[in-house]
Amino acid sequence: MSRPRENHYSYAVYADPAMAEAFDTLRFSGPIGRLVAETQEQAIESFLPDVAGKTILDVGTGTGRAALALAARGATVTGVDASAEMLAVARRRAADAKLAVTFVGGDVHGLEFADHVFDAVVCLRVLMHTPDWRRSLAELCRVARDRVVFDYPALASAAALQAAARRAAYALGARTEPYRVVSGRAVSAALRANGFRVAGVHRQFVLPIALHKQVNSAAFTIRLEGALARAGMTRLFGSPVTLVAERCAS
């Protein structure tokens, strides 16, 4: 399909073959990267516990990490991404793992699927970058029959400070990804407008992931974030927020 927003950084960055090849190493290597990946997968499994035989769409699938994990649990998975380069890596990873996943090109702003055709839709690390997050979320809700699982950096979190710094750096010409932060109230309102309600929430870190990567100790991160959680800080300021939304009864 045509991509009228293709000059937006979120398209240009991931159209780079070198970025596609290095993506998993950049995001999920090292003790903190692995912890982030494991926590993300655990959140999806808790929100979608019985996926065997279900149809699931992974939007913004990238190199296919979530899609492959869902397929390994018995789901029939379709992965969609605007980057042909990322999809090439995803297809190779699926072949290496001997998992059957359908990967297709597509844009979250206009998914080329019928209404309510998937049992569930997953969309991770996308709404923070996409040009129009409300339209994107509306598309996720449109094609989902029952559930949508997605994440976003919280407005009330340390991520808001990093997001502001990145936007400033980007405006000055730096090569960075100036992602957005979103309030829970705005997300809930957007879901209601599309016939969904929040059914579960998981918040990850109080302190910035970049800080944890600087320390580079999973044990330290688990202890510190555990203490912050016990103090009630994660519930208030944890980010990114991963949530599951359910379609409201008509």
Q: Which domains does the chain carry?
A: 9-247 (3.40.50.150)
pLDDT tens, per residue, the chain with 250 residues? 344 466 788 888 888 888 889 888 888 889 999 999 999 999 999 999 999 999 999 999 999 999 999 999 999 999 999 999 999 999 999 999 999 999 999 999 999 999 999 999 999 999 999 999 999 999 999 999 999 999 999 999 988 888 898 889 888 888 888 889 999 999 999 999 999 999 999 999 999 888 999 999 999 999 999 999 999 999 999 999 999 999 998 6
Where are the strands (E) in the chain, listed by range?
55-59, 76-81, 101-105, 118-123, 144-152, 196-205, 239-247
* The predicted structure's pLDDT at residue 5: 61
The answer to whether 54 touches 126, Cβ cutoff 8 Å, is: no
Helix 30-47 vs helix 218-230: angle between axes, to the nearest 10 degrees? 50
Helix 17-28 vs helix 30-47: angle between axes, to the nearest 10 degrees? 90
Of 155, 172, 177, 80, nearest in space to 121 by CA: 80
Residue 246 φ then ψ, to 5°: -115, 145
* The predicted structure's pLDDT at residue 1: 39
Residues 6+ apart with CB under 8 A from 228: 206, 207, 234
Report how far residue 85's alpha carbon sits from residue 55's, in angstroms, rounded to the nearest whole number. Answer: 25
In 3-state terms, what secondary structure has residue 183? coil
* The predicted structure's pLDDT at residue 100: 97
The answer to whether 14 touches 62, Cβ cutoff 8 Å, is: yes
The answer to whether 130 touches 108, Cβ cutoff 8 Å, is: yes
Where are the strands (E) in 94-222, listed by range?
101-105, 118-123, 144-152, 196-205
The strand order across the sheet containing 55-59 reads: 101-105, 76-81, 55-59, 118-123, 144-152, 239-247, 196-205
* The predicted structure's pLDDT at residue 2: 41
